[in-house]
Amino acid sequence: MQNISIGDGKLLTEEQLANSLQTSVYNVRHLRHRKKIPFIRLGHRSIRFDLVKVRKALEKYEVEEVA
């Protein structure tokens, strides 16, 4: 499968994003359906993710340790 790039970053499939985030494809789909992470729809079935934008979106859910 050919990687598609936009700007400086590559667009990833659900499977590639799951591998990059070390999580399941199910979790990526769940986050996408709940609109917690940004995605690009390239057609009826083709969905891609920009890893930089996804990581930035997930930063707001980071829990910092309280000392």
Is residue 7 very low, low, confident or very high in pLDDT (cuts 50, 70, 90)? low
How many Cβ atoms sit within 10 Å of the Cβ of residue 18?
A: 18
**pTM of the predicted model, to two decimals?**
0.81
CATH entry, 4-59, from 1.10.10, 1.10.3470, 1.10.260, 1.10.357: 1.10.10
- Give the model confidence (pLDDT) of 26-53 as tens digits: 999 999 999 999 999 998 989 999 999 9
Among all chains, which residue has been given the structure tokens 């930063």? Answer: 59
Q: Is 35 exposed, middle or buried (0-12, 13-18, 19+ CB in 10 A)?
A: exposed
Contacts of 23 (CB under 8 A, 6+ apart): none
pLDDT value at 63 more than 80 = yes
- Nearest CA to 37 out of 66, 47, 45 is that of 47
